[in-house]
A and B are shown apart, each in its own frame.
Chain A
């Protein structure tokens, strides 16, 4: 249960800056997701923490021990940082039990080793699978073995590199929940790298959003989703409805009326971009209710609700926005929309 601290970590590959003075603290026992688009440097961040890539500058401490600093480089095997790579990367020449036992100090046949292996397999729900070969397991099982293997030696930190991207959608949610449960159960400090915002928001205790080698924001999933630090973060962690507006104090005037703002945002009064989440837009089929008139362009049915694409008919030029709704709407319907809750404001 080690805290991981990165300070000013910088790494460039040729002309490409993968990490640009990254500061990040992962609290002990927390599950932190590093979220960002492909090529944002998140995998490099993970490999730097694990010790496979030496940064050009900056310091890294794991559990209070400096593992990376100018003139200091602790070898990966002495960091206590276990890695779960994409697709598991099980040792194909070893059976499941030997895979899990790989990082344990004792010999394969020792009682303590065997017990620990069984314990770990039970933890990931694979009791009795010890003598299987990796190729006899499904993708989800391979991933869970990889996790058991990483956790068996009780590492201070576990890092997971897009561990669920190779799994199909249904399995992904299930394995994700299982893995989260396992990590919670043993209170491990875990860093999971992902480009899937849903995964990051649903699994992690805290989310660090990265773009172009920099950490743009680090906070709880709710903070990251509801109070994104800037427009890039806001756009990345979920769908966004953007409305031009004029800020005055704690409110913003937009095409959807005068909206309250989250706090008094440090944006100066004047022209701003007001931002809302689609679920803040309420769509009502009955026009007489007070609200803003809109025209339904498109409805994407998603099961639990629908994404409705609308055009506001009152404004010139016409303004398009998206909403979530459970109402049975069809393209061509005329509706009334109103806003629930406060908006965000960003410099225009």
Chain B
């Protein structure tokens, strides 16, 4: 409850501002520019979200359900763009490709940066899917293509839809990329209008309009998910499905597509950054500032993630287990917080800090509150999804054995949801490291993060001086991204056809792979070293038990 109230704080500020404005609200909304702005923003959101859904689901199917050569490596590479902040990618494109501006540039950059939000959960969902339904569809005469579209996609739709919601919300609230790419989306217009005068009313009204749009989008996602919520019944131990054998032509086509995505989303921006870094080396790098910025970034991200998850866990558990109007409202409140662009949350909290919470203004606590407001949805989504994966029956057993509700949470629900909660934490950590506008306005006086240092240098067009911070930011973000991939479903596992065939053929223990993989992978899969194991040593249960 407190979490939802916290998320509503900036919203309250906007409402107060709008109410104070009175008659002018109508005038601002009636401007021809306003309608155009809504259309422009929705066009961008729609285009990017659609592209991300297609890319995310398609790529996830390629790396989990086919014999695509190199799928383990691709599974890792395809998730890595998550580590590239959108404004860094935008900066890389603007600096290297002048044509990449406006709607085209914004679509390109935002799609490349956000499709992993769909890709990662769908990969996890596809690996958890019970192949029995697909087998039934095939046996009833549906071809592999139609089975995929009508059965598999439906099964992973809740995962894809919540990923798609994250993408839509990200695009609506992105500020850095659209500003650099000179596309007049909501955030850029709001920012311009803040900057243009001391009159903050138009900005507040537009922000409120943006919140309304977000709520509509979130409601749409809930609707599309409605009847499909995947709550497991029984222990639901299931087998893995057979991977689809790709012919030579299909395999080369698929490889080309995957390489193209990796190239656009990862290789090109990195190459551009490295180019500017090398260009700047001759002028010398400010090592001291680089080190302190990195330290501050890490510390703030860790604290922010802890605070956020502390609030997200109860909301997520409630949302997964008790579908009532109240929990829906709390959940929606948390989502609404996410839709507020970082700059609006930041300014709302500046207002709050100056008027109400002077002692923490421009100190760490207020910044952490901003992070919590901004990133609750990511945490809540992860917690909710992972709690919903385990059967409520298991919790009832615990109750009937004498555990009180809080003990059940501690002893059963959270350990089972552990991998999902870890994934949520990684996601929040990652997003905080990349956060720009709120950090810029609320950071403790005198301290700099990688993002703010980068912003400062970019502000004076010192691309070469900015490049080291951008590279450090990307490098830092890689670790939680890998962790996230590990927790989200151990991408490297089960992709090897020999192993899948083996586990599909085995009776008994191997059947459980579907449910238990996130908790503890079956032994048959640990004999062969996989890329995921190499990248993430703790994914090996035997090694874990030795430790």
Q: Which residue numbers of A lie inside 8 Å of B, CB to CB?
A: 50-52, 75-79, 81-83, 85-93, 102-103, 105, 133-136, 138, 142, 146, 149-150, 153, 155, 159, 166
B237 and A135 contact, CB distance less than 8 A: yes
Contact with A along B387-407 (1 / 0, CB 8 A): 000110110111111111000
B217-251 residues with Cβ-Cβ distance < 8 A to A are 234-235, 237
Residues of B within 8 A of A153 (CB): 401-402
B498-531 residues with Cβ-Cβ distance < 8 A to A are 508-509, 511-513, 515-516, 519-520, 522
A77, A89, A136: which contacts B402 (Cβ < 8 A)?
A77
Question: Given the interface contacts A75-B404, A82-B401, does A92 sit within 8 Å of B508 by beta carbon?
Answer: no
A91 to B412, CA, bound (A): 7
A136 and B509 contact, CB distance less than 8 A: yes
**B366 close to A (CB within 8 Å):** no
**B253 close to A (CB within 8 Å):** no
Question: Given the interface contacts A92-B235, A92-B515, A93-B415, does A52 sit within 8 Å of B399 by beta carbon?
Answer: yes
Known: A51-B400, A135-B512. 10 other contacts (CB 8 A): A50-B400, A77-B401, A83-B400, A89-B397, A91-B416, A92-B235, A93-B415, A93-B418, A102-B411, A149-B401
Residues of B within 8 A of A89 (CB): 234-235, 391, 393-394, 397
Residues of B within 8 A of A133 (CB): 516, 520
29 CB < 8 A contacts A-B: A50-B396, A76-B399, A76-B400, A77-B400, A78-B402, A81-B400, A82-B400, A83-B396, A83-B397, A85-B234, A86-B234, A88-B235, A89-B391, A90-B394, A91-B394, A91-B416, A92-B416, A92-B512, A92-B519, A93-B418, A93-B519, A102-B401, A102-B403, A105-B402, A135-B237, A135-B512, A142-B235, A153-B401, A159-B400
A85 to B519, CA, bound (A): 22
Which of chain A's residues has its CB closest to B508's CB? A138
A88 to B397, CA, bound (A): 9
A90 to B237, CA, bound (A): 11
A191 to B515, CA, bound (A): 29
A52, A135, A150: which contacts B509 (Cβ < 8 A)?
A135
A293 to B357, CA, bound (A): 99
Which of chain B's residues has its CB closest to A105's CB? B402
Residues of A within 8 A of B396 (CB): 50, 52, 76, 83, 85
Q: Which residue numbers of B lie inside 8 Å of A, CB to CB?
A: 234-235, 237, 390-391, 393-394, 396-404, 411-412, 415-416, 418, 508-509, 511-513, 515-516, 519-520, 522
B397 and A85 contact, CB distance less than 8 A: yes
Which of chain B's residues has its CB closest to A101's CB? B401
A90, A136, A159: which contacts B235 (Cβ < 8 A)?
A90
A168 to B122, CA, bound (A): 34
A81 to B401, CA, bound (A): 8
Which of chain B's residues has its CB closest to A80's CB? B402
Question: Given the interface contacts A87-B235, A88-B235, A135-B509, does A103 sit within 8 Å of B393 by beta carbon?
Answer: no
A135 to B235, CA, bound (A): 10
Residues of A within 8 A of B418 (CB): 93
A284 to B268, CA, bound (A): 90
A102 and B515 contact, CB distance less than 8 A: no
Minimum Cβ distance to chain B for residue A192 (Å): 15
Residues of B within 8 A of A88 (CB): 235
- 6 smallest CB-CB distances across A and B, nearest first, come from A103-B401, A135-B512, A76-B399, A87-B234, A83-B400, A89-B393
A78, A81, A93, A153: residue with the most chain B Cβ atoms closer than 10 Å = A93
Minimum Cβ distance to chain B for residue A74 (Å): 12
A150 and B401 contact, CB distance less than 8 A: yes
Minimum Cβ distance to chain B for residue A80 (Å): 8
Minimum Cβ distance to chain A for residue B418 (Å): 8
Residues of B within 8 A of A86 (CB): 234, 393
Minimum Cβ distance to chain A for residue B407 (Å): 8
B396, B398, B402, B515: residue with the most chain A Cβ atoms closer than 10 Å = B402
B402, B404, B512, B520: which contacts A103 (Cβ < 8 A)?
B402
A159 to B396, CA, bound (A): 12
Which of chain B's residues has its CB closest to A138's CB? B508
A90 to B391, CA, bound (A): 10
Minimum Cβ distance to chain A for residue B257 (Å): 36
A123 to B224, CA, bound (A): 49
Minimum Cβ distance to chain A for residue B415 (Å): 5
A52 to B415, CA, bound (A): 22
B235, B412, B418: residue with the most chain A Cβ atoms closer than 10 Å = B235
Which of chain B's residues has its CB closest to A157's CB? B400
A78, A79, A133: residue with the most chain B Cβ atoms closer than 10 Å = A133
Residues of B within 8 A of A135 (CB): 237, 509, 511-513, 515-516, 522
B234, B404, B515, B520: which contacts A166 (Cβ < 8 A)?
B234
Minimum Cβ distance to chain A for residue B413 (Å): 10
A155 to B399, CA, bound (A): 12
Residues of A within 8 A of B511 (CB): 135
Minimum Cβ distance to chain B for residue A53 (Å): 10
Residues of A within 8 A of B400 (CB): 50-51, 76-77, 79, 81-83, 150, 155, 159
Residues of A within 8 A of B512 (CB): 92, 134-135
Minimum Cβ distance to chain A for residue B198 (Å): 56
Minimum Cβ distance to chain A for residue B396 (Å): 5
A91 to B516, CA, bound (A): 11
A272 to B382, CA, bound (A): 64
Minimum Cβ distance to chain B for residue A147 (Å): 12
A149 to B403, CA, bound (A): 13
Residues of A within 8 A of B397 (CB): 83, 85, 89, 91, 146, 149-150
A77, A138, A146: which contacts B399 (Cβ < 8 A)?
A77
B404 and A77 contact, CB distance less than 8 A: yes
Residues of B within 8 A of A75 (CB): 399, 404
Residues of A within 8 A of B402 (CB): 77-78, 103, 105, 153
Residues of A within 8 A of B412 (CB): 91
A51, A78, A92: residue with the most chain B Cβ atoms closer than 10 Å = A92
Minimum Cβ distance to chain A for residue B250 (Å): 35
Residues of B within 8 A of A159 (CB): 400
A150 to B398, CA, bound (A): 10
Minimum Cβ distance to chain A for residue B411 (Å): 7
A149 to B393, CA, bound (A): 14
Minimum Cβ distance to chain B for residue A203 (Å): 21
Residues of B within 8 A of A87 (CB): 234-235
Minimum Cβ distance to chain A for residue B171 (Å): 37
A149 to B411, CA, bound (A): 15
A147 to B397, CA, bound (A): 11
Minimum Cβ distance to chain B for residue A81 (Å): 6
Question: Given the interface contacts A89-B391, A92-B515, does A102 sit within 8 Å of B398 by beta carbon?
Answer: yes
Minimum Cβ distance to chain A for residue B128 (Å): 13
Minimum Cβ distance to chain B for residue A233 (Å): 30
Which of chain B's residues has its CB closest to A88's CB? B235
A136 to B507, CA, bound (A): 10
A50, A52, A91: residue with the most chain B Cβ atoms closer than 10 Å = A91
A10 to B418, CA, bound (A): 39
A133 to B521, CA, bound (A): 11
Minimum Cβ distance to chain A for residue B60 (Å): 24
Minimum Cβ distance to chain A for residue B111 (Å): 37
B516 and A92 contact, CB distance less than 8 A: yes
Residues of B within 8 A of A83 (CB): 396-397, 400
Which of chain B's residues has its CB closest to A84's CB? B397
A51, A85, A138, A155: residue with the most chain B Cβ atoms closer than 10 Å = A85
